Amino acid sequence: MAGEFFGVGVGPGDPDLITLKAIKVLKGVSCIFAASSTKNNYSVALDIVKPHLNTATPIEILSFPMTYNAEKLESSWKENAEKVCKVLAENKNAAFITLGDPLFYSTYIYLVREILKIMPEVKVTTIPGITSFQAAASACNLPLVEGEESIAVASGAKGSKQLRKILSSSENVVLLKVYREIDDIINTLEEENLTEKTHFISKCGMDGEVIIENVRELKGTKPHYLSLMIIKKGPLRGE
Ligand SMILES: C[S@@+](CC[C@H](N)C(=O)[O-])C[C@H]1O[C@@H](n2cnc3c(N)ncnc32)[C@H](O)[C@@H]1O
């Protein structure tokens, strides 16, 4: 018998934005896994959920490299999946906590794939979380979509290539991971006359939250990793 594996979304930052179900699951498992970068031992998700945890539950940090090197990534997913499987093989239930939602740009997606390669019999249950962009829209009181509009979500980690494409087909765009290529992204928004239609939100719901409406002022800066943009071609609020 293998233990059950839970992927638990802990929401975007504010510990009050975690679901009752997430807390219930985390209080019931024998081990909690959290991700950190290989550069440190820090897990944002763990920081968010800590006030809700039983102090006696063991917590294990799994490190993942922040890289595009496929070989390094795959070996870290495999190594960390083996660590989780060790616990599940003892018939213990375990949870992996993720920032926001587990199935939305999360390491959980890769980890589960590897776990199921090693132990296909494991029951996997995913507990959804409030995503960063939902919380960001609320923080700005900004409608994400209305009427017959559409919305596209993309990563800005590699600059504005994807942004140009989706702007041609969607009235609303959410761009995550804008921290690396901020100048390129803002140049594109300027070309499309959309800087005044863009909100930038950093560390939403956390200490040091920043909301910027004039995104031009971000040029030449290095935003925090936890930053995103909401771009609306249509009305921003009630105009
Ligand atoms: C690996 S993705 C994680 C997404 C997460 N699973 C979710 O449901 O929102 C990391 C990106 O999410 C965004 N993000 C996550 N939390 C955030 C927050 N509190 N404030 C602003 N952006 C955030 C940033 O764009 C960051 O680069």
Structure tokens at 62: 């799994």
Q: Give first-to-last CA distance, the chain, whole Å.
A: 59
Instruction: Name the residue range of residue 218's domain.
Output: 132-232
35 ligand 1 Cβ < 6 A: no
Residue 145 shares a structural domain with residue 218: yes
The CATH number linked to 14 is 3.40.1010.10
Question: How many structural domains are present in the chain?
Answer: 2
Q: Note whether 122 and 102 are same-domain residues.
A: yes
Pocket test for ligand 1, best of 176, 179, 198 (most atoms within 8 A of CB): 176
| Nearest one of 211, 212, 183 to 196, comparing CA atoms | 212
Whether residue 97 lies inside any domain: the answer is yes
Return mean pLDDT, the chain. Answer: 95
Give the number of the atom of ligand 1 that is nearest the alpha carbon of residue 176.
25
CA 100, CA 18: separation in Å to the nearest integer?
9
Q: Which amino acid is at 129?
A: G
Contact predicate 209/132, CB 8 Å:
no
Where a domain ends, among 127, 162, 186? 127
For the whole model, what pTM was predicted?
A: 0.95
Give the pLDDT of residue 161: 85
Mark which of 83, 106, 127 sits at the end of a domain: 127
Is residue 230 lining ligand 1, measured as CB closer than 6 Å? no
Closest C-alpha to ligand 1, atom 27: 177
Beta strand extents in 50-178 (DSSP E only)? 59-64, 94-98, 124-127, 151-155, 172-176
Give the tokens for residue 14.
């504010």
Distance 13 CA to ligand 1 centre (A): 9
Ligand 1 near 180 CB (within 6 A) = no
C-alpha span between 48 and 18 (Å, rounded): 9
Residues 107 and 152 in one domain: no
The response to whether residue 13 sits with its C-beta less than 6 Å from ligand 1 reads yes
What's the average model confidence in pLDDT over 26-32?
Answer: 97
Distance 202 CA to ligand 1 centre (A): 9
Percentage of the chain surpassing pLDDT 70?
99
Q: Give the residues across from 199 on adjacent strands.
A: 230
Name the burial class of residue 208, with classes exposed (0-12), middle (13-18) and buried (19+) by CB atoms within 10 angstroms of its CB. exposed
Residues 108 and 171 in one domain: no
- Are 102 and 166 members of one domain? no
Q: Are strands 210-212 and 198-202 parallel, antiparallel or unpaired?
A: antiparallel
3-class state of residue 47 by DSSP: helix
> What whole-number distance in Å separates Cα of residue 79 and Cα of residue 82?
5
Residue 102 lies in a domain: yes
- Average confidence (pLDDT) over 136-150: 95
Choose which residue among 18, 43, 99 to substitute to test ligand 1 binding: the one with the highest number of ligand atoms within 8 A of its C-beta.
Answer: 99
Q: Are residues 57 and 116 in the same domain?
A: yes
Nearest CA to ligand 1 atom 2: 105
**pLDDT, tens digit, 9 for 90 and up, residues 159-204:** 988 899 899 999 999 999 999 999 999 999 999 999 999 999 999 9
Judge whether residue 76 has pLDDT over 70: yes
C-alpha 58, offset from chain centre: 23
Structure tokens at 106: 């999360």
Please say if the pLDDT value at position 95 is more than 70: yes
Question: Is 40:130 a contact under the CB 8 Å cutoff?
Answer: no
Residue among 138, 157, 155 nearest 201 (CA): 138
Cβ of 44 closer than 6 Å to ligand 1, yes or no, is no
Nearest ligand 1 atom to alpha carbon 205: 19
Residues 47 and 62 in one domain: yes
Q: How far is the CA of 121 from the centre of ligand 1 (A)?
A: 31
Residue 126 near ligand 1, beta carbon < 6 Å: no
What CATH number is associated with residue 182?
3.30.950.10
How many angstroms is it from 24 CA to the middle of ligand 1?
23
Question: How close is the Cα of 176 to the center of ligand 1, in Å?
Answer: 7
DSSP bridge pairs for 73: none
Q: Are residues 139 and 117 in the same domain?
A: no
